[in-house]
Chain A
């Protein structure tokens, strides 16, 4: 029973809070490589699972945090709906709570929205064991502070996500992927020009001299867009985009070698190609640059480039798991610590997973 499981989770956190025992929150354990290394007793969240409500005509699904993403995607697919932020599935067993806690989004993100844009509301158990509800199950809610969005991407440091309501979208009627050969600077120019036009773009990927572009929408819009941007249509496009989304693409597989590190550079989409050491793959209309470096490559030039390009750099996978996120300036860091103390006054849930000192 999910409610008993929830009560047990609350008890566990209450006891840990009383004992000042740090806890490491673990869903499917498919994204443990992400974030800072953190220590504590492991708490499984997969017991708090199950779809609570799914009304396809409302375009809303509500499920417990420990529900498998695969289960949710399957239920939605039966009604020709899907999670349009395309949460990455780095391995089987990923949970909804984990997807929202990491806040990661896939190839469709610049065109459909990010994980946080689809979160309508959620429930958490905070660091004192209290169960709390924020937001709701309707499309718009401006009642009180937007804590649902604050929780998205907080890596479980502000409580354990036990239930999430998400906006669903109907699948596109038509989808097509074209590929063009071009130089990297030209690819960045093209995707930005297209981004300002009423084209049904739904993903872009540049790697190894080729630019893949996915179009999704009404049949006529997709075929008109194919004409207008040009390139060769490819078969099995779904496999290609899933490999990019789930890091099963050869670029990402190579990045997972023991002696390598994978960087995620989130920048303004028009930033010129980064002259940094290592291979790159570019997504999100130019706004996301993946970079594979040697495991212990100098971090400074990478961070400097990302900052000067209007964004920030994260050591996504591999390398030394300390200082993986862009350091916060002093005032922002103070706000973070105050928020952490608000949700987790004893500092026990996923302490240090985001930044070492809170």
Chain B
């Protein structure tokens, strides 16, 4: 059920009319008030709460973003940065109305420095576009959240993906930023150097701040040489514990696996049907990928295979040709759609949590039991090397009871993860759906985060109501 939240009396309607008039005057067709377009910008993916912005504006440059934010600052109007709307926790909903800054027309690859292994992009470049643009340089950008998100959105949510164990997350791969701050100033943090700035690490502070501390407009990224050899393999296990234990041992002996993904039996069943992976069974399954020289890849794969065999894993099913590999990973990336297809007519939202890896089996099994008790369908996939897993909850949006059950299931996952010494989110972020969990996890530190928010955005105009909502918003 898609509830559009209208502005709740704040800001003043006259102020909103003024800003819409000004933006329309300054940006012409790039300032859109058409309701259908605004509705597209009212929500991300996931649980369908939304908030309608009063206007969507599509800037072309840092200077234009700065000018828009400055106008909003003066008029105290909310301003929400928007990429392609694939965030999962209600990050982009304009809950108090205001100006949605759609950055997708800022989609240029500004520079590639092949020798320094870095590049600079505008925030609206998507990860797939970046890798397409890098073709021919011998380089690639590894971070791959499920969706074809923008680099700006991925930076703002501190995204990661299937190969974080080997390449890290956005946090480790952003070298510097251009950010428009709450008063409309343009600042550059970090730079080309590895230890990149004097003073506080502002780059890391803006990464993952969900548009609440500034609008990220340009990103300097670290790139990697495309490995000489890549091979992927699939291994099936009699039970979840065996699969997880295999990974724990592999991490401990330091096999530099590029990707290790866990699919539980329910998810594997969904993927077999959706992506026609006929040769597999609906059992807990690990997908692996190895990167390196020919010799290194062979060695890693052999070590991995022997650890898996000790834990009852099946013989590795190999995918060495690029097309076989991409079919396999496409099946993994389509896990969400495969889950949806399990129950036509239902919607899905994904929730994530991260626990110490030694508690992962226990956490996933307890979650499985909760799912069964709820009567809902909710497959589990995991970036298992990190102890991070996702639950894709299917629910009928027109059935309030089912929606409530789905929400309560997500809540349970968060609280269990925190109780096990983990976090309510390892990847998706807080947005507006995990505000309570953030308090449960961080206690009085949330108050300090609020003070920090006030210090950097005293008028509370930047994506208000998210991450650490302030009382006056």
Point out residues on A near B: beta carbons under 8 Å: 55-60, 103, 105, 109-110, 113-114, 116-117, 126, 130, 132-134, 136-147, 149-150, 152-154, 158, 169-173, 192, 195-198, 200, 217-218, 220-221, 224, 266-270, 284, 287-288, 309-312, 314, 325-328, 331-332, 335-336, 338-339, 341-343, 354-355
Contact = CB atoms under 8 A, between A and B. Distances in A.
B231 to A, nearest CB: 14
Q: Binding site of A, secondary structure by majority: helix, strand, loop or mixed? A: loop
Contacts of A327: 198
A84 to B, nearest CB: 10
Interface residues of B, number: 92
A146 B388 contact: no
Which 4 interchain pairs have the tightest Cβ spacing?
Answer: A310-B192, A311-B193, A170-B254, A149-B204
Contacts of A312: 191, 193, 197-198
Nearest to A193: B115
A270 B113 CA distance: 10
A172 B255 CA distance: 10
Contact of A145 (B209, B357, B424): B209
A144 B431 CA distance: 9
A27 B84 CA distance: 47
Interface string B140-183: 00000000000000000110100010001101100000000100
B199 interface: yes
A339 B252 contact: no
A343 B450 CA distance: 11
A119 B205 CA distance: 14
A145 B356 contact: no
A336 B455 CA distance: 10
A145 B208 contact: yes
Interface string B109-136: 0000111110000000000000000000
A140 B452 contact: no
A185 B468 CA distance: 50
Contact of A268 (B189, B192, B252): B192
Contacts of A311: 191-193, 195-196
A100 B252 CA distance: 24
B252 A170 contact: yes
B456 interface: yes
A341 B428 CA distance: 30
Contacts, number: 254
Given A117-B168, A143-B438, A335 B181 contact: yes
A221 B292 contact: yes
Given A130-B444, A145-B208, A221-B292, 17 more contacts: A109-B194, A137-B421, A138-B386, A140-B383, A140-B386, A143-B429, A144-B467, A145-B209, A145-B467, A149-B205, A150-B201, A152-B201, A266-B196, A267-B193, A268-B113, A270-B113, A314-B198
Contact of A220 (B117, B252, B295, B423): B295
Contacts of B328: none
User: Which of A130, A327, A335, A355 lies at the interface centre, i.e. has the most chain B CB atoms within 10 A of its CB?
Assistant: A335
B34 to A, nearest CB: 33
Contact of B448 (A55, A56, A126, A153): A126
29 contacts: A55-B356, A103-B201, A117-B171, A126-B448, A130-B444, A137-B422, A138-B388, A138-B423, A140-B387, A140-B426, A142-B208, A142-B430, A143-B424, A143-B437, A144-B430, A145-B449, A145-B453, A146-B171, A218-B300, A266-B193, A266-B196, A268-B193, A269-B116, A312-B191, A312-B197, A312-B198, A325-B198, A335-B181, A336-B200
A150 B354 contact: no
Contacts of A126: 448
Given A117-B172, A138-B426, A145-B209, A195 B187 contact: no
B356 A141 contact: no
Nearest to A159: B448
Interface string B424-451: 1111111000100110011111101101
Contacts of A57: 248, 252, 357-358
Given A146-B205, A196-B225, A338-B456, A140 B189 contact: no
Contacts of A145: 205, 208-209, 213, 449, 452-453, 467-468
Given A55-B356, A146-B158, A310-B193, A138 B296 contact: no
Nearest to B420: A138
B322 interface: no
A221 B299 contact: yes
B225 A198 contact: yes
